[in-house]
Amino acid sequence: MDKVKLPLFADVNTQLQHSDLLVHPADVHGVICGLLCGGVKLDNKAWLEPFDQLLNEGLGIPESLESVFADIYNASEAALEDMTLGFELLIPDMDESLESRMEALAEWLQGFLGGFGMVHSTSTNASDEVKELIADFASIAQLDLDTEDDSNEAEEAFYEIVEYVRMGATYCFNELSDSGEIKKIPVLH
């Protein structure tokens, strides 16, 4: 079976621009990943209602976007379940400005936190590591980095933050997902 691939940021952005739904592609992916990592039932349909509530105030997903959102969901679930750590964030690629990538990362994190909070119950026992990751994600989403700095150091710092978020989301999924499997992965610090 071929590996399910996440659609390209530019393609999702184009489809969103041609719809009535005014959301950022990174926000869409962040919400889906937050739902998955927060423990939404992994049945290919349970994510739809909370996703619609968060991104379109319960008005329904536009028909023109149903397939792209399903592709994003399927690729994200497959990547999060893949222990080879193939999970990636849907943000602009390296040829976009650092500023646009940082804005997209903030959108992704805000979407993730919304999706996570929508399905993660306070009765679910999350580890201290997950609680710390969620607090870190909230802090990172609020960062106001110097976007005038296009140096290699700024690029490296951005890359490290993206890696932390990517690995943190994977950690949350492995601890809280509805997959029914308990997976041991290393603790992030």
The yes-or-no verdict on residue 146 having pLDDT over 70 is: no
Alpha-carbon separation of residue 154 from 15, 78, 99, 112, 137 (angstroms): 31, 31, 10, 24, 19
Give pLDDT, residue 132.
94
10 Å Cβ neighbour count for 174? 19
Average the pLDDT over each of 23-27, 143-147, 154-158, 185-189 and give the range with the smallest value: 185-189
Residues 108 and 28: beta-carbon distance below 8 Å = no
How much is the average pLDDT of 162-187?
76
The yes-or-no verdict on residue 110 having pLDDT over 90 is: yes
Computed over every residue of the chain, the mean pLDDT equals 86
Choose among 78, 81, 71: nearest CA to 29.
71
pLDDT in tens, 84-104: 768 999 999 988 999 999 999
